[in-house]
Structure 1
Amino acid sequence: MSKIHICGTPLSAMTLGTVQLGIPYGIANNSGKPDRDSAFAIIEAAGKGGVTGFDTAGSYGDAEVLLGEYWADKPQKPILVSKMTLPLDTGLSAAEIERQMNEKTESTLRRLQIGQLPVMLLHNPDVLLMHGETITHTMRCLHRDGLIAKAGISIDGHSDEQYASMRDIINEDIYEALQIPLNVLDHRLIRSGAIREFAAAGKILFARSVFLQGLLLMDENKIAEKVPEALAHVRTIRSLAEEEGVSLAELAISFVRDMPEIASLVIGAETVEQLNDNVRLMSCPQISEATRDKIHRQLGDIPPSIVNPVKWVKR
């Protein structure tokens, strides 16, 4: 795992995902959205646990507002990563795209109560196929004007196809940070060679969906009920973890954490207890190369219907 500094702050190996603080989220969510005091307690526990990265978005309910209120009176600001979503509309003019991007950035800065955002990601990269030149130019302007320190892209569930279709845009030098889906079942960007290319280009890689929205940690009966197609594969992971002498959660963390290309793992929490568990998991032992090889061989080509939550059938 690489050591990165953003705005003078070292990026921690774990970045707290805050979508759960703003809206009920995830197939394994049991407690819904925490209240303000509970959200503050989670943020505080993350800071005490050494977490310096906090991932959010304008579309995550009031998550940006909560982060802004919590950090407002703190002298040392963390690495705040937010995202903007733009309309998938081919009819929009370049001027309108630029206006919306400026407006969304300024709104995020107001909610977070900061003058410069350490990292701004484009949340829906498919829009690059319609307005890539304008978006890239505007990101450069936001960076030039000091509103953002770094720009980037959040690659979504159609990761390998998406990367192939917009490879040249993603590799523009303004896009210094990328957030990608990656876990023991989802090897699409490994298989395509994209992760190696990202690293070779010097991109800062944030890996999300390490537990596949909590699916990997669910009880087997719940998996059978929610995503039955995944059950056999989760059993394979559990078997590999037992052979290695680690928990399934430790295997899932280590598999992603110890890839040299990955800078930080974006992991959410619904409670302080869950947050503290995740911080402890980040110190788990490294899995053996033999086990890593088995994961690649046995789980290297899982269909999108399982690894992409968008494709899960509502039951």
Structure 2
Amino acid sequence: MKYTTLPNTDIKVSKICLGTMTFGQQNTEADGHAQMDYALEHGVNFFDTAEMYSVPARQETYGSTEKIIGTWFKKTGKREEIVLASKIAGPNPNFTYMREKNDFSPASIKFALDQSLQRLQTDYIDLYQLHWPERKANFFGQRGFKVQDDAWEDNIHSVLETLDGFIKEGKINYIGLSNETPWGIMRFLEESKNFNLPRIKTVQNPYSLLNRQFEVGSAEVCMRENVGLFAYSPMAFGVLSGKFLTGESHPNARIKLFPQFSRYNSEQCTEATRLYQEVANKNGLSLTELALAFIEQQPFVTSTIIGATTVQQLKENIDTIKVSLSEEILKEIDAVHAVIPDPAP
């Protein structure tokens, strides 16, 4: 395994992070425990979760992933060996079962954090993230910023003050953002700098061969401001394994089980995947190796979040840390990107 540190800290994290959102839906508690055992045994010391998991989010499975991680901590006693990240859900009218109001008010943050700590069976979370903005700025399936009615009033100072209180209490060590825009990242950094409030360490956004929009704006922000990217969906819901190019049905695949996740189902995504498969074949790599190695060696990526439904998939993903792509291969990847840029919104 390769390691780095959370920006502006001395916390060592593996360059591969175990994503856990399948625990409690596609994976049982026993499956989740087996994945965490395997990941830690192979050097992965960084786990990411969220209060809304498992996915797809629904009332019946709300909090199930955190509960499974919590029972693993209790069983193994290995909480201190793990850098643990979780998230508070932002506004969504379908998530009223989580709490009366899904916002980042002091009361909501306190309730969400305390509930997460209880489910996780721990006294603290190493990295606590805002899962998506309160303002109408970034939606799954939407490409770019859309001007629209937005009643949001800038409360970033209040949010940072609230999180600062929980840091001082010892319930949180560090904070981060997720699904953020360049403006949002800079706005948080500005407020922390001007008022000596906690500084965000990371942002967790989608980044893959099929979605390189992070490179436009956000990558420069992260490099110049020393904010780390946690890249999620690096395999594009399994599309970048190449398994959907074979003609087989794969009925248990995420995009088959949950057709509402159509982000990577377009003809453009299929064609781009086929072209990336050709690049991988030409260079003696699997498409999985090509896709993950590309993300892992980007200088603005702190850690790549991988999610698997089987230990075998997890093994293949973790093993990609040994792969290094040459400048020639990177040029071939960029040539495909130039023909079909960012097919997934």
TM range (shorter): 0.7 to 0.9
Q: Is the 8 A contact 1:9 1:52 kept in 2?
A: no
- From 216, 219, 222, the equivalent of 2:240 is 216
Select the residue among 70, 81, 86 that pairs with 2:85: 81
Distance 2:159 2:6 in 1: 25
Write the mapping of 1:1-315 to structure 2, written as runs, cut at 5 A: 3-4=4-5, 10-23=12-25, 33-61=26-54, 62-72=64-74, 73-75=76-78, 76-87=80-91, 97-127=105-135, 130=153, 131-155=155-179, 163-172=181-190, 173=192, 174-190=199-215, 192-217=216-241, 218-220=243-245, 221=247, 226-284=265-323, 286-300=324-338, 302=340, 306-308=343-345
CA-CA distance at 1:248 after TM superposition: 0.9
Alpha-carbon shift at residue 9 of structure 1 (Å): 5.1
State the Cα distance separating 1:293 from its structure 2 match.
2.3
CA contact (8 A) 1:2 1:260 kept: no
- Identity, in percent, stands at 23
**Does the 8 Å CA contact 1:185/1:300 hold for their aligned counterparts?**
no
8 Å CA contact 2:89–2:130 kept in 1: the answer is: yes
Aligned to 2:146: none
**8 Å Cα contact 2:186/2:221 also seen in 1:** no
The aligned counterpart of 1:29 is none
Closer, same or farther: CA 135–300 of 1 in aligned 2, 3 Å? farther
SS of residue in 2 equivalent to 1:19: coil
TM-score (norm 2): 0.75
One-letter code of the match for 2:47? F
**Structure 2: 5+ residue stretches without partners:** 55-63, 94-99, 137-151, 193-198, 251-255, 257-264
Whole-angstrom CA distance in 2 between matches of 1:208 and 1:186: 11
- Pair 8,96 (structure 1): closer, same or farther in 2 beyond 3 Å: closer
Unaligned runs of 5+ in 1: 24-32, 156-161, 309-315
CA–CA distance in structure 2, aligned partners of residues 273 and 206 of structure 1: 23
> Take 2:69 and 2:222, find their aligned partners in 1: how far apart are those partners?
29
Contact 2:104 2:134 in 1 (8 A): no
Could you say if the C-alpha distance between residues 164 and 10 of structure 1 is closer, same or farther in structure 2, counting changes exceeding 3 Å? closer
The alignment's C-alpha RMSD in Å is: 2.8
**Which has the larger share of helix?**
1
**Structure 2: distance between partners of 1:96 and 1:121:** 11
Amino acid at match of 1:298: V
AA paired with 2:37? Answer: E
**TM-score, reference length from structure 1:** 0.81
Q: Cα–Cα, structure 1 residues 259 and 211, in superposed 2: closer, same or farther, change >3 Å?
A: same
